[in-house]
Each structure stands twice: as structure tokens, then as C-alpha cells.
Amino acid sequence: MELLPKEQIAFQRFLDTIRRGYERFGFLPIETPVFERLDVLLTKSGGETEKQVYFVQSTGAKAQGKEAELALRFDLTVPLARYVAQHEGHLVFPFRRYQIQRVYRGERAQRGRFREFYQCDIDVIGKDTLPIAYDAEMPAVIASVFRELQVGAFTINLNNRKMLSGLFESYGLTQPERQAAALREIDKLAKVGKDKVLEALHGPDVGLASDEANRLLAALSLTGSNAEILAALRAIPDTSALFKEGVDELQAVVDGLKAMQVPEENFRLNPTIARGLDYYTGTVYETFLNDFPELGSVCSGGRYGSLADNYTRSKLPGVGISIGATRLFFQLREAGIIKADRSISQALVTQLDPSLGHEYLGIASLLRTAGINTEVYTEGGKFAKQLKYADRAGIRFAVLMGSDEHARGTVTVKDLLKGAQHEVPRGELVTRLQALLLDDGV
């Protein structure tokens, strides 16, 4: 994961858009150190992840025969839990934070897998309780960010773990291990298809009777508008209080999204989304790009019962969602959705007459003071070469002043995109270029 400058510029814009979107909803930034305690990270990671934790030690400490105590964060959730517990007395709850940082996993480098990648998380953490309104805010933020990222059509899938658990119960599936097994199978529905899942639900790990497995799957396979799915869920007979609570929460999320004017095409209830096993306790989210379903969920999250039981006695329920920005950026670049053809510079001051070198520097300063990112072609040389440089670098406007223009008190702005050329009095250069840049959509 190392980008050439034009790619880095595009990636930087991508991250900035996400950040601006998070800030628009009033989320507060935090950054945590790259190091967390090794023992904590090893406890929190499981299975394959455990081997992927990078431990860290200074060469000096190693030389003294000390044991490594630190490791690199592998997600932003463990650091958030530690942060909230550590600074609890100084934070205002509900604590709404965003965090955009790299995380580290010792994976074998391969296509689409990174040892180091950006995550962009938002979470709201309550103290003791957290209103369901925040469960609606998460997808509202994501819908706003994805629209600004111009990723094309997307759908945020919504479900609720209480609804799922309640449904399981009404088919006699009460043991946690069996529920967990059922969730695992249902999670595969989109991948393996109805028949395989039905077979597994009927199999020994879940153990539903064939008829109940059928009815469960029918309930989970509901389609239609959000209102239709909600109505169909409410029409299921003999459901539990937990199920009803889950459906009410889904209703509240849908209503909240409408009140926040999120277009209905951007979110839909999908009873099959289960999202992991233990962590989430209520609403869950997965986000798909309509034209690229093969990418899987590009933004996921959900509601959890307590963030930081390991660190504090306070009950800290939360809801959060995360964009894996590095992976998503590479996918969108490959799909041609994101372009990388722009420089940082908006104008290149060319050097037509070496004796005017200091004048060119003055013009550049003028443009910069007006907020225009400006470069000077310091080397001079053939004009065609200077224009070629601007073109290759992705700089749209070249500013030129030969001895003729200098005598006339003018400069010429050359629009390399449109091929147009404008000679303007020097005093009007700034306003003229600003007007041209407005049209540039930057």
C-alpha cells in the first residue's frame, strides 16, 4: 500500500470526503497511539487474528532482554474502548466520535489484502442507555458520505438481532449455541442459496424440524418495500416480546431515516443480515454497491450492549459503523469509479523569459495569497516542455508572460483542458483565474 502522487491525491480527497461527512453530523475526532498493550490485543483478537497481531519492541529494550509489552492496533474498536474507559470523566455522553487511522494485521501480502490499511469509524457511546435514534443516525451519515463519494447506487441493509433471536425462539430455537449456528448459516444465504441453508438448519448443529426451518427461512426471505417487510414481520403469528422489540426498533430506524430525508432507495430491511455472532445486540448494518455486489459489504456495523466491560464498571452501550477505506478505494479505482488525474496545483506559472524570473515568483505569490495552489516552473527551457509537464502533472491552467505581455502589463492564462487562452491585465489575473476555477468543480 504505497501510492504514486496522483493516486495519493485521489485517496486523500477520498478520506477528506469521509471526514467532512462525519463532521457534518457533529462527530468529534479522536486519534489514539498506534500502540496498545500486547496482552489486551491478544485477548481481544481470536483465532487467525491472534497470529496477525504485530508486537513491537525497541531494539534497546530487546537488548536488555525485556519481553515485548506493546503491539500495533488491529482495529479501532479496542482503542476506542480503552480511550472511553480511560477518559470517561472528561467525556460528554452520549460520546460521538469519529476516528480515521491505519490499523495493522500481519497478513501475507496479497491482492486486496493489506498489512496496513485505513479504517474510518464512527461510534456513539451512551452511559447506561443510548436512544434508538442513534441507530438511525449511523446509516444517515453513511448515506450522506457515500453520496458525496460518488460511488454510484448503494444500499444500506438493515436488520435487528433481537428480531432474529425472537424469531428463533418462536421456532423453539432457544439454546444460544444453536441460535449461533443458525445465524452462521443464515449469514451464508446470499452466498450458498436457500436449499443449502435449509439443509443446514435442519441438520444436527441447529436441529430445526423441516417444517420450522421452512417457515423460519420464509420469514427471513421477505422482500418488498421497507413498509411491506415491516408489515409482514408484524403479521407473523405467536411471536415473542423480544421479536416485537426488535421489529419496533427496526421501525424506529426506518422512521428516523425518513425524517432525516435519506432517500428510501438507499436503505432496506434485510432480515438475513446477521453480522457476526456475539458482539452485536440490536441493529446491524451492511452496505452494498448495487453495481458491484461481488465486493461484498463495504461498510458494516451495528449496536452493541457494552463497549468496555474489560476496563470499566460503567455500562457503555454503543452503536457504530466502519468504512474500510483502503480496500474500498482500491476497489473503486479498479472499477473505474474513482479517477486519479489531478494535481494538487491548480496553476503553473511558466517561465518564458528567464530575465523575468522574479516577476514569475511574484505572480505565484499573488495567486497563493488568493488561495490558489500554484507552482512555478523554475527550470525554464522550451515552452512546449513546460506545457507538457503541466499536462502530465494534471495541472489545468498555465500562466504565461513573455516580454510582449510584460510590456503590455498583461498575462495569459492557458486552459489546457479546453485549449482556450485568455490574455488579461495583470491586476485582473486573480479574479479571472478564480472564476475559471469555479467552473473546474474543485
Q: According to CB under 8 A, which residues from 308 to 347 bind its own copies?
A: 343-345
Strand, coil or helix: 317: coil
Give the number of residues in contact with its own copies, rule: CB under 8 A.
87
How far apart are CB 195 and its own copies at their closest, in Å? 37
Least separation in angstroms between residue 63's CB and its own copies is 7
Contact residues for 428 (Cβ-Cβ < 8 A; gap 6+): none
Give the nearer residue to its own copies in terms of CB position, either 24 or 408. Answer: 24
Which residues are CB-neighbours of 71 under 8 A, at least 6 positions away? Answer: 35, 36, 37, 38, 41, 42, 53, 54, 55, 56
CB of 156 vs its own copies, minimal distance in Å = 16
- Map the footprint of its own copies across residues 92-111, applying CB under 8 A: 92, 94, 96-97, 102, 104, 106
Task: Lay out the site mask for its own copies across 156-195 (x = CB under 8 A, - = otherwise).
Answer: ----------------------------------------
C-alpha cell at 125: 457511546
Nearest to 286 by CA among 191, 196, 401: 191
Would you say 319 or 323 has its CB closer to its own copies? 319
Whole-angstrom CA distances from 370 to 360, 363, 365, 375, 378 are: 16, 11, 9, 14, 21
Q: Which is nearer to its own copies, 115 or 202 (CB)?
A: 115
| CA–CA separation, 402 and 15 (whole Å) | 40
Residue 434 as a binder of its own copies (CB under 8 A): the answer is no
Task: Select from 168-176, 179-187, 291-299, 357-365 the region that touches its own copies (CB under 8 A).
Answer: 357-365
**In terms of C-beta density within 10 A (0-12 exposed, 13-18 middle, 19 or more buried), how is residue 103 classed?**
buried
Is it true that the peptide bond before 425 is cis, omega within 30 degrees of 0?
no
* Binding residue (CB under 8 A) for its own copies from 75, 85, 131, 415: 131
Interface of this chain with its own copies, residues 247 to 266, rule: CB under 8 A? 255-256, 258-261
Provide CB contacts within 8 A for 182, sequence distance 6+.
Answer: 168, 173, 201, 206, 208, 216
Tell me, what amino acid is at 74? Answer: F
Question: Nearest distance from residue 166's CB to its own copies, in Å?
Answer: 26
> Mind giving me the DSSP string for 71-97?
EE-SSSHHHHHHHHHHTGGGSPSSEEE
Q: How far apart are CB 104 and its own copies at their closest, in Å?
A: 7
Reference 36, options 51, 59, 53, 61; nearest CA is: 53
Question: Nearest approach, Cβ of 41 to its own copies (angstroms)?
Answer: 9
The yes or no reply on residue 4 touching its own copies (CB under 8 A) is: yes
Question: Which 370-389 positions form the footprint of its own copies (CB under 8 A)?
Answer: 371-376, 378-379, 389
Contact present, 114 and 326 (Cβ < 8 Å): yes
Q: How far is the CB of 194 from its own copies (least distance, A)?
A: 38
Contact 361, 380 (CB under 8 A): no
Which whole-number Å values give the CA distances from 345 to 382, 393, 400, in the listed order? 21, 9, 16
33-92 binders of its own copies (CB under 8 A): 33-35, 42, 50-63, 72, 83, 86-87, 90-92
Residue nearer to its own copies on the CB measure, 4 or 407: 4
71 phi and psi, to 5 degrees? Answer: -145, 160
Taking a C-beta distance cutoff of 8 angstroms, is the pair 24, 144 a contact? yes
Between 90 and 191, name the residue whose CB sits nearer to its own copies: 90
Could you say which residues in the range 392-411 bind its own copies, by CB under 8 A? 392-393, 395
Compare residues 265 and 291 and give the one whose CB is closer to its own copies: 265
Binding-site member from 119, 144, 165, 322 for its own copies (CB under 8 A): 144
Binding window for its own copies (CB under 8 A); candidates: 20-28, 183-191, 223-231, 290-298: 20-28
